[in-house]
Amino acid sequence: MKGTFTVISRDRLNGMLAADEDRFDWLGEDTDERGWLWSHWKDKKTGHGYAVLQAVTVHMGFNSSPKEKVDEFCKIVEEQGFCKASWGVTGRTKHMILAQELADMLPQYKFEIGYNYDCTAYRRDEE
More confident residue, 3 or 97: 97
Kindly write down the DSSP assignment for every residue of 79-109, as one continuous string.
HHSEEEEE---SSHHHHHHHHHHHHHH-TTE
Q: Are residues 38 and 88 in the same domain?
A: no
Structural domain of 44? 5-53
Q: Is the pLDDT at 44 greater than 80, yes or no?
A: yes
Q: Are residues 75 and 119 in the same domain?
A: yes
- Would you state the pLDDT for residue 126? 52
Q: Are residues 36 and 14 in the same domain?
A: yes
pLDDT in tens, 76-110: 999 888 999 999 998 899 999 999 999 999 999 99
What total of structural domains would you count in the chain? 2
Distance of CA 64 to the CA centre of its chain: 21
More confident residue, 47 or 35: 47
Q: Are residues 20 and 39 in the same domain?
A: yes
Q: Are residues 63 and 47 in the same domain?
A: no
Q: Is the pLDDT at 38 greater than 60, yes or no?
A: yes
How many Å apart are CA 118 and CA 74, to the nearest integer?
17
Rg of the Cα atoms in the chain = 17
| Nearest CA among 95, 93, 74, 92 for reference residue 83 | 74
Amino acid at 88: G
